[in-house]
Structure 1
Amino acid sequence: MPELPEVETVRRGIEPHVLGRKIVGVTVRDTRLRWPIPSNLAALLTGKKVTGTARRGKYLLLQLSGGDRLIIHLGMSGRLFVLKPGHALKKHDHVDIEFAGGVMLRYNDPRRFGAVLPWPASEATHVLIEGMGPEPFTEEFNGDYLFDLSRGRSAPVKNFIMDGSVVVGAGNIYAAESLFRSGIRPAKAAGKVTRAQYQVLAQHIREVLGEAIKQGGTTLKDFAGADGAPGYFQQKLFVYGREGEPCLVCKTPIKCAVIGQRSSFYCSVCQK
């Protein structure tokens, strides 16, 4: 599933092509996404100009004239392509958004777990956005914040940092890599992690996500950027997906445990 770095990569990829352009047409071929596309989407978007792009967690936002927004979620297999109008169709090409100047955004989603939804200016928040924790690159997110929020929690620290109401963006891959760099085992109770450890962990979450964005995301199966190019952060993974392979630091075989129904990779020597 595309995570924060992948979505940020897509945002940066499409922004130069759509910023300042007016939407001149919308074609919806299949409304049956996880959150159904409203039948009046074309009427709501046509004539609006893109005034900015943004990201909230894993949601891509197109900011439109008049204060409206468009929320795009890539689900498990969604992709956005920047194309010329009239580009040949492929299977699962569900939505086209055409802009003045001969530019088109095409949303393709084989599994249809994503979303393309309007967010009217009259609504202060959106059901898909409300309740989210802070972004990892903000001042609000730090070790003290994690320490204070974790007190009394017996759930594994990996589950704690993957909780979107705690912080957005620390998906399975990035949680595993951040915990490895911090020397913390993923199964350790969140309430048992010290303030000093959380200071280190918060910093490594920012670093890992920042590196992944710089490298264009992580290619495991379905993800590619807006230009179709894959991400390359997978070349820098220390533990994720490396069960049985030697730790790149101490050479101990990497272990894997199921935590919260997710595969969790760690080094039994480097992580305590």
Structure 2
Amino acid sequence: MPELPEVETTRCGIEPYLLGQTITGVTVRQPRLRWEVPDSIQSLVGQTVQQLTRRGKYILLHTPAGVALIHLGMSGSLRIVDATLLPRKHDHFDLLLASGNIVRYHDPRRFGALLWTADPVQQHPLLRELGPEPLEAGFDGDYLFTQSRSRTVNVKAFIMNAHIVVGVGNIYACEALFLAGIDPRRVAGRISRERYLKLANSIREILTYAIERGGTTLRDFVREDGSPGYFQLELKVYGRADEPCRVCQTPIRHLTQGQRSTWFCPVCQH
């Protein structure tokens, strides 16, 4: 599914087309997404887009009347298309812009979302308990160390917990732990402050680089213009079971943790 770099890549890609634009219409073809698209989404009509931000994996479209929350789900994508382009199967909603462009949402699995709030968006039930952004102030190794004390879960599950830090999905958790040299099976509460300092830096480095490379294409994700991301060509461990480690040549191992696949190097990570 799209993770933080893919969502941020999408946000950056569509932002120039939306800022300052008036939304002239909202067309919902399929309201039954992860949550029912509310009728209040029509409040967008006539509104001017003031900001396009991201919180975790949510793209937030800010207007004077309120904020639309968009989630890409497991297979969703947003494209900027001409108003004359007919919708395809699985094109579930359109935001019509005064420029003549359309923001079109495509989602074969229908696990994304389009929601609306007129209240302060950070108090929305889906956002208010999220942890800090990994690329912003407030997230560092000291924070991870403090949050990890007395935790008995494995370190991979710990950094994937959105209440601890947002946006570190399965791909980037595997890659960050490899870069930091930490075995994903280790208990979070038994890892030193020094190693958490390295892990926090690794998380920032991996996510920043993935954004620069346009996100990771795995199965369904494409950028807003339809082109793929390229970070998948440089994955060190994710999806590489039994292939040689790019550092030490030891075969990469695969295991399942909490119903999620994990890949790691048994030599480089300890």
Q: With structure 2 as the length reference, what TM-score do the two structures score?
A: 0.98
Number of the residue aligned with 2:61 = 62
SS, match of residue 97 in structure 1:
strand
Shift of 1:187: 0.5
Distance in 1 between residues matched to 2:210 and 2:9, nearest whole Å: 9
Distance in 2 between residues matched to 1:69 and 1:32, nearest whole Å: 20
Moved over 3 A (4+): 121-124
Number of the residue aligned with 2:15 = 15
SS, match of residue 71 in structure 1:
strand
1:122-201 superposed matches below 5 A = 125-201=123-199
Number of the residue aligned with 2:222 = 224
Shift of 1:259: 1.0
Distance in 2 between residues matched to 1:147 and 1:124, nearest whole Å: 26
Shift of 1:30: 1.1
Instruction: Please give the per-residue CA displacement for 1:191-243, whole angstroms capped at 9, x wherever unaligned.
Output: 11100000000000000000000001000100011111111110111000000
Instruction: Please give the per-residue CA displacement for 1:33-54, whole angstroms capped at 9, x wherever unaligned.
Output: 1110012422x11100000100
Distance in 2 between residues matched to 1:55 and 1:107, nearest whole Å: 17
Equivalent AA in structure 1 for residue 260 of structure 2: R
1:28 aligns with 2:28: yes
1:233-248 superposed matches below 5 A = 233-248=231-246
Shift of 1:123: 6.2
SS, match of residue 50 in structure 2:
strand
Change (3 A) 1:156 1:23: same
Q: Is the 8 A contact 2:40 2:116 kept in 1?
A: no
What percent identity do the matched residue pairs reach? 53
Instruction: Please give the per-residue CA displacement for 1:23-77, whole angstroms capped at 9, x wherever unaligned.
Output: 01111111101110012422x11100000100000000111124x1110000001
Distance in 2 between residues matched to 1:127 and 1:219, nearest whole Å: 30
Distance in 1 between residues matched to 2:121 and 2:202, nearest whole Å: 35
Distance in 2 between residues matched to 1:40 and 1:147, nearest whole Å: 42
Instruction: Please give the per-residue CA displacement for 1:146-194, whole angstroms capped at 9, x wherever unaligned.
Output: 0011011111000000000000111000000000011100000001110
Shift of 1:139: 2.0
Match of 2:101 among 93, 100, 103: 103
Distance in 1 between residues matched to 2:102 and 2:81, nearest whole Å: 5
Number of the residue aligned with 1:50 = 49
SS, match of residue 178 in structure 2:
helix
Q: Is the 8 A contact 2:172 2:207 kept in 1?
A: yes
Change (3 A) 1:124 1:153: closer
Shift of 1:124: 5.7
Distance in 1 between residues matched to 2:26 and 2:116, nearest whole Å: 13
1:38 aligns with 2:41: no
Match of 2:208 among 204, 207, 210: 210
SS, match of residue 123 in structure 2:
coil
Equivalenced residue count is 270
SS, match of residue 60 in structure 2:
strand
Distance in 1 between residues matched to 2:190 and 2:47, nearest whole Å: 51
Equivalent AA in structure 2 for residue 128 of structure 1: L
Unaligned runs of 5+ in 2: none
SS, match of residue 53 in structure 2:
strand
Q: With structure 1 as the length reference, what TM-score do the two structures score?
A: 0.97
Distance in 2 between residues matched to 1:122 and 1:267, nearest whole Å: 44
Equivalent AA in structure 2 for residue 59 of structure 1: Y
Equivalent AA in structure 2 for residue 92 of structure 1: H
Equivalent AA in structure 2 for residue 14 of structure 1: I
Change (3 A) 1:124 1:183: closer
Number of the residue aligned with 1:86 = 84
Distance in 2 between residues matched to 1:197 and 1:123, nearest whole Å: 35
